[in-house]
Amino acid sequence: MSNVDARQQALAVRDAFEFEPTSLVSYQSTGKVIVLGDDDALAKCSELPAALDINPVAISAGRIQIEGYLGAYMVKVTDQQGNEMSHQGDAILDLNEAPLLAREMLPPGYFHVPPGDWGNPELMAELADLRGEFQKPKFFDYDASICAHGVNGKVACRQCIDACPAEAIHSLVDRIEVNPYLCQGGGSCTTVCPSGAIRYLYPGLRDSGKRLRDMLKVYQEQGGELPIVLFHSESYSPEMYLQHYDNLLPLEVEELGSVGMDLCLSALAYGAMQVILHIDAEVPRSSQANLGAQVEWTQALLVGLGMDPVSVSLCSHDAALPEVEAASVVEMAIHDMPAGKRNAIYQALDHLVAKLKPGADRIDLPSTAPFGEALIDAEKCTLCMACVGSCPGKALQDGSNREIPEVFFIESNCLQCGACVQTCPEDAITLQPRLLFDFETRNRARALNSDTPFACISCGKPFAPTSVINKMQEKLKDHYMFGSERALDRLKMCDNCRVVDVVQDPEAMGGQFDPQKGFRQ
């Protein structure tokens, strides 16, 4: 059977796939539209559908603030004298040349119509149908327990906030909050999230992976060779590529920004020769930048695996696809796609490593990649364990329950988020982005720093790392509270013995303390 025939069978399986449903987000609208523009633009309001409740608002010198979404908009206009007027409505019709709301993805119910586009019949029909209840899928799921955003009152990671083209994500310092009414499923947040705390829900990663695997499986079973997977957005038709590449398997996604290392590597593990992400005019610029970073990390990884880096590439404007040198296909994996992004990446990586048997055991990655190791300068580290308490991925772990104080590290858990670097009071930690190919090495706990326990000079009980005691002695030796040798020696005592010694020290208590009666007046 030819590639074209095999493709036909594969695409039939792709189109028949049913995604697991998700919950819905509902909007209520009574058809009240706030129209924003100058006097000439507002004169056109008479041409709008009669069923609408129009509230024209002239935009002149002053300040305008717009908040909300379909069914719940608020527009505040402040003139040059500081007078403020508020307008509430269900939708906004912005008749300015550039939208007054500067977002790459405008909220539901926000219609921007520059003067040259006035009279579009599709727009008029959409405006006329603005009354009633409207629904869309809830596109995301969020697990605050693995989120790296906030640590100890400090922001460590804000990648999802910066990536969201709809500005639907906000910081609550210790975690993030996603406004489901503003979220339009752009997907960039899930792609850039280092931990997978925020994930794409419709379709979920597990469903996307299964559809991808089933399509490639049927293509190969029907005799198709060297398949190319082309991810593209709903707004793009891949007809030109289908005509020029008989081994091309297009895969439409809700938003291209949701496609990251997880799906790209999994496609190669499921038997694709090449994976292409097609950028069209509808893909937000911020999403394009994030996709570029995902491809850069993936290509670095492919070099380490001994594959042609253009096996995963971006393309746009119907450009010819890059040719893969020594084109080949890895024996197809049969595993299901995990629901978690990092697990999906590691699972695909392990399959590729097993089949390709690369000569190296690791690959260095670009500085922004969310995989790598943490390094501790033993000369600076006091084993205070602040880094352990701040690590959202549980990559850094406290080994103090053992006989000696130690910090352990599990590299597969490291997000390279920098929380440990921010938290360390001694500035002793640096990060190194990379990926280890060996599963056991990547998942094994190893000691980053250790110290001999310091024994209390009074009772002999070990109670702190020796380096901590030495640094305390050095830093506090000139402090007025530790002016005597006895006072300084108390730093070498455990908590209990330190209290006893303070009580028994006439110089410390001024001779005014009786253990039975307390302080004497």
pLDDT in tens, 272-284: 999 999 999 889 9
The arithmetic mean of pLDDT across residues 308-312, rounded, is 97
**Cβ distance 10 to 249 under 8 Å?**
yes
Within 13 Å, how many C-alpha atoms sit on residue 242's CB side?
A: 14
Residue 464 is predicted with a pLDDT of 78
- Rounded Cα distance between 137 and 17, Å, is 18
User: Residue 519: pLDDT above 70?
Assistant: no
**CA-closest candidate to residue 140, choices 95, 191, 174:** 191
In 185-226, alpha helices (H): 188-192, 205-221
Residue 509 is predicted with a pLDDT of 65
| Percent of the residues in the chain that have a pLDDT greater than 70, as a whole number | 96
Within 13 Å, how many C-alpha atoms sit on residue 13's CB side?
A: 19
Measured from the Cβ of residue 451, the count of other Cβ atoms closer than 10 Å reads 20
| Angle at the Cα of 23 from the Cα atoms of 17 and 28, rounded to 5 degrees | 125
User: Residue 514: pLDDT above 60?
Assistant: no
Band (1; pLDDT cuts 50, 70, 90): low
User: Residue 325: pLDDT above 90?
Assistant: no
Measured from the Cβ of residue 11, the count of other Cβ atoms closer than 10 Å reads 17
Write out the H or E segment, with its range, that includes residue 84. strand 84-89
**Cβ distance 333 to 220 under 8 Å?**
no
460 is written with which tokens?
């002999």
- Rounded Cα distance between 443 and 447, Å, is 13
CATH architecture of structural domain 140-200? 2-Layer Sandwich (3.30)
16 is written with which tokens?
């028949």
For residue 99, give Cα distances in angstroms to 53, 105, 112, 115, 118. Answer: 21, 11, 6, 11, 14
Residue 310 is predicted with a pLDDT of 96
Sequence-distant (≥ 6) Cβ neighbours of residue 471 within 8 angstroms: 382
Give bridge partners of residue 233 from the DSSP assignment: 253
357 is written with which tokens?
């048997």
- Rounded Cα distance between 75 and 61, Å, is 15
User: Residue 511: pLDDT above 50?
Assistant: no
| Percent of the residues in the chain that have a pLDDT greater than 90, as a whole number | 71
Band (293; pLDDT cuts 50, 70, 90): very high
Label each residue of 469-491 as H, E or C. Answer: HHHHHHHHCCCHHHCCHHHHHHH
User: Residue 355: pLDDT above 70?
Assistant: yes
- Rounded Cα distance between 92 and 36, Å, is 7
Measured from the Cβ of residue 99, the count of other Cβ atoms closer than 10 Å reads 17
Band (479; pLDDT cuts 50, 70, 90): confident
**CA-closest candidate to residue 65, choices 90, 104, 92:** 92
Pick the CATH number of 372-450 from 3.40.50.2000, 3.20.20.100, 3.30.70.3270, 3.40.190.100: 3.30.70.3270
Beta-strand pair 518-519/513-514: antiparallel
Band (420; pLDDT cuts 50, 70, 90): very high
Residue 516 is predicted with a pLDDT of 47
Band (483; pLDDT cuts 50, 70, 90): confident
In whole numbers, what is the pLDDT of the chain averaged over residues? 91
pLDDT digits (tens, 9 = 90+) for 67-126: 999 999 999 999 888 889 999 999 999 999 999 998 999 999 999 999 888 878 888 889
Band (521; pLDDT cuts 50, 70, 90): very low
- Within its chain, how far is the Cα of 12 from the centroid? 33
394 is written with which tokens?
């549980």
- Rounded Cα distance between 44 and 119, Å, is 10
Residue 134 is predicted with a pLDDT of 96
Give bridge partners of residue 25 from the DSSP assignment: 136
Sequence-distant (≥ 6) Cβ neighbours of residue 470 within 8 angstroms: none
Residue 517 is predicted with a pLDDT of 46
In the block, which residue shows the tokens 């939208």? 99
**Cβ distance 231 to 275 under 8 Å?**
yes
Map residue 164 onto helix, strand or coil: coil
Rg (CA), the chain: 30
209 is written with which tokens?
């992976």
pLDDT digits (tens, 9 = 90+) for 427-475: 999 999 999 999 999 999 999 998 888 888 889 888 778 788 888 888 8
- Rounded Cα distance between 404 and 454, Å, is 10
User: Residue 377: pLDDT above 80?
Assistant: yes
Beta-strand pair 150-151/154-155: antiparallel
Residue 174 phi, psi dihedral angles, 5° rounding: -85, -15
**Cβ distance 230 to 276 under 8 Å?**
yes
Band (151; pLDDT cuts 50, 70, 90): confident
pLDDT digits (tens, 9 = 90+) for 382-419: 888 999 999 999 999 998 666 778 999 999 999 999 99
Residue 80 is predicted with a pLDDT of 83
User: Residues, the chain, total?
Assistant: 521
Buried b / exposed e along 292-310 (16+ C-beta atoms within 10 A)? ebbbbbbbbbbebbebbbb
- Rounded Cα distance between 245 and 209, Å, is 23
Residue 364 phi, psi dihedral angles, 5° rounding: -70, 145
Residue 61 is predicted with a pLDDT of 66
- Rounded Cα distance between 253 and 513, Å, is 76
Band (510; pLDDT cuts 50, 70, 90): low
Provide the residue type at 354 as one letter: A
Band (9; pLDDT cuts 50, 70, 90): very high
